[in-house]
Each structure stands twice: as C-alpha cells, then as structure tokens.
Amino acid sequence: MQQGTYELHVDTIVFEEDADIEAKFVSMGQVHGLAGTDHRRRELSLALLWGTPIALSFGLLAALGTTFTTMFFAAVGVWYGGVVDEVIQRITEIYMVLPFLPILIMVGVFYSRSIWTMLVVLILLSIFGAAIKNYRAIFLQIKEAAYIEAARSYGAGNWRIISRYLIPRIIPVLIPSLVSAIPSYVFLEASLSLLGLGDPVLPTWGKVINDAQMQGALYNGYYYWVLQPAALLMITGLGFAMIGFALDRIFNPKLREV
C-alpha cells in the first residue's frame, strides 16, 4: 500500500432523521490480542486454541484406529495361516500402493469435507497398512513360544489365544509406534485443510494457514498469521516424537544401552 492520506466515505440509510451513526475503521490484520487478527478481524488466538483439541483428537483417534485394527488382522492372519494369511497379505499389498492423499481429496471434493468422515475413510484405508508386515513378523516369533503350546495343551480356543496371548505380547512394541504416529495424522489433517478441504465448521490449524494463504498474508507482511499455526504443528510433531522415543527406550531394553 502506498503512503499517503486516505479518506473513507460511509453512505448509510436511516429510518430516523436524528439517528446517531458511529463508524469505526479497523484495518485488516491489525495486531491485537494474543495472536493478532485475520482478514475478518477475528482473533487468531481463538482459532489456535480451539484447533488444538481438534487436531490432537483427530491424530489420537486415527492412530488408535489404524494401529489396533492393523495389529488385529496381523494376529488373525498369523494364527490361522494358510489361505487366511495369504488373503490378508495380498490385500495388504494392494492397499500399500493406494495413494491416501488423492483418495481423501476425492472424498472431500465429491462427498463430504467433515473431519469425522475423513477420519473414518482414513481408518478404512489403513486397516491393511504397511505396518501389518512388521506385526506379522513379530507374531510369527510369538506363535512358536512355549506358553502358546501350553495354552493349546489345556484346550484354549483360537480367539482366546489371539486375545489373551498373542496381542498382549506386542503391546510394549505397539505403544511407542502409536505415539509416534499421532503427529503424522495431525499433519495429514492440516494438509487437507491447507488444500481447502478442511471441515467447514471446525477451526483447525490448517484452515488458519489456508486463510492466510488465500489473503496473501506473507506478501502483506502479516507473518504471524502463518508462523503461529506452523509453530504449533512443529511443536506437536517434535513433542510426540520425543515422547515416542522415550517410550521406545523404556519398553525396548535393547535401546537402554544406547
């Protein structure tokens, strides 16, 4: 904007001749409050605070849903073996080549942009994810353990062995990877919002960045509009990565010597 003196003329229509009119001009992006304002003079601190539980809830639910469903199908395939294991592995190989982000973009464009719809689609696409290969390798070792043979000897059924002996054994390995997966889903939701496919109702960090991009915040010098949600995303990713690494050292005795 060029320097100089500008005049703002306000034309109004009133129903009473002696009506008192008061007009106030507030510049777009004027910094006030804790985090500044957006192009509609809304405080960004509200969107950033409301977006925190939404982002964490999406990441946590997506990580829990994908991790436990993948682990369950891996345990079922290893225990039953044969045709069941072959079918699960072939479906997994098909799912591994499916592009998740383009599919989610198509769902957002042609069906719904609801964050919960995206969550359900994401879990369905991740049931037979690549992690099933890692879980299968672990379950193959556990299946040959002595206590599995003992469970068979006293007549334990297939589902009892899977739920009581196979799955609990892998929980210590599961927890660090689950915690480390949370920020990846937070970034995925932010990526969808940045592309304009975020939930139209809920405020998210990605939507704040998208609004800033649409209004040319960086070109106009409103760096805070972009840097604050980006910093929250970076802090979230770094925090969960550190927690996951710490839990990995706790649950994996081999890493304690490193």
Q: List helix spans (H) across the chain.
A: 44-80, 82-96, 100-110, 115-126, 131-143, 146-153, 158-161, 167-194, 205-214, 217-220, 224-251
pLDDT per residue as tens digits for the range 193-210: 888 888 888 888 988 898
Per-residue pLDDT, 19:
74
Q: How many Å apart are CA 74 and CA 206, to the nearest integer?
A: 34
pLDDT tens readout for residues 223-258: 888 899 999 999 999 999 899 888 888 877 665 555
Q: Which residue has the tokens 């929980």?
A: 171
pLDDT-derived band at 53 (thresholds 50, 70, 90) equals: very high
Q: What's the whole-number mean pLDDT along residues 47-51?
A: 89
How far apart (Å, rounded) are the C-alpha atoms in residues 116 and 58?
Answer: 8
Is 117 exposed, middle or buried (CB count within 10 Å of its CB: 0-12, 13-18, 19+)? Answer: middle
pLDDT score at 256: 55
Domains, in order of start, for the chain:
44-249 (1.10.3720.10)
Cα-Cα-Cα-Cα torsion 78, 81, 84, 86, nearest 10 degrees, comes to 90
Q: Specify the pLDDT at position 172.
A: 82
Q: Which residues have CB under 8 Å from 94's CB, separation 6+?
A: 128
Distance CA 220, CA 137 (A): 54
160 vs 29 pLDDT, higher one? 160
**What average pLDDT score do residues 106-115 get?**
85
Any idea which of 3-12, 44-53, 226-235, 242-251 has the lowest mean pLDDT?
3-12
Q: Is the per-residue pLDDT at 169 higher than 90?
A: no
The whole-number pLDDT of residue 31 equals 60
pLDDT of residue 131: 85
Q: Is the pLDDT of residue 127 over 80?
A: yes
Identify the band that residue 56 occupies on the pLDDT scale cut at 50, 70 and 90: very high
pLDDT (mean) for 94-105: 84
- The per-residue pLDDT of the chain, averaged, comes to 84
